[in-house]
Amino acid sequence: MGLTVRDLDRSAEWYERVLGFKFVRRLEAPPDDENIPPALLLRHPDSGFLVALCGHRGRSGDRFSPRRTGLDHIALEVSDEDQLAHWIGELDALGVEHSPIRDLGHSRFVSLEDPDGIQLELWVTITPPRPG
């Protein structure tokens, strides 16, 4: 997954500190190709999920809005409700603002935003017991 961000290093620090991603490498953009941005690659050690934080030349620099056509949010699934509760404790300890647990019946989630306002959800699917 690639996300266009305002400040590569600031965003990388947040994803590492808050979500536990690890630095993989920095990709420099070729000076003669406007279509390839400089980027930082980060990988989550438990899931192997890879994120590229991109610094496109000529990006708008404004804060993310889910009302703009394109990305609304990113949902990252956690293993169970205990893990969701653990994440809430981690976010609180780091001083990261987040929503209360929201219950949709089939799932529960917590919302938070990265430094550019990109909304992330930590999500757990609740499997109801099958009738007898």
Residue 128 has a pLDDT of: 65
Q: Report if residue 64 sits inside a domain.
A: no
User: What total number of domains does the chain contain?
Assistant: 2
Residue 129 has pLDDT above 80, yes or no: no
User: Is 49 in the same domain as 16?
Assistant: yes
pLDDT digits (tens, 9 = 90+) for 25-62: 999 877 887 778 899 999 999 989 999 999 988 888 88
Give the neighbor-by-neighbor strand order of the sheet with 50-54. 2-4, 50-54, 39-43, 22-27
CB 23 within 8 A of CB 40: yes
pLDDT of residue 56: 86
Range of the domain at 120: 74-125
- Cβ contacts of residue 13 below 8 Å, gap of 6+? none
Confidence of residue 66 (pLDDT cuts 50, 70, 90): confident
- Residue 62 within a domain: no
Quick one: pLDDT band at residue 118, thresholds 50, 70, 90? very high
Model-level pTM? 0.83
Q: The CATH number of the domain where 92 resides is what?
A: 3.10.180.10
7 & 50 share domain: yes
Residue 65: inside a domain: no
pLDDT over 90 for what percent of the chain? 67
The answer to whether position 60 is within a domain reads no
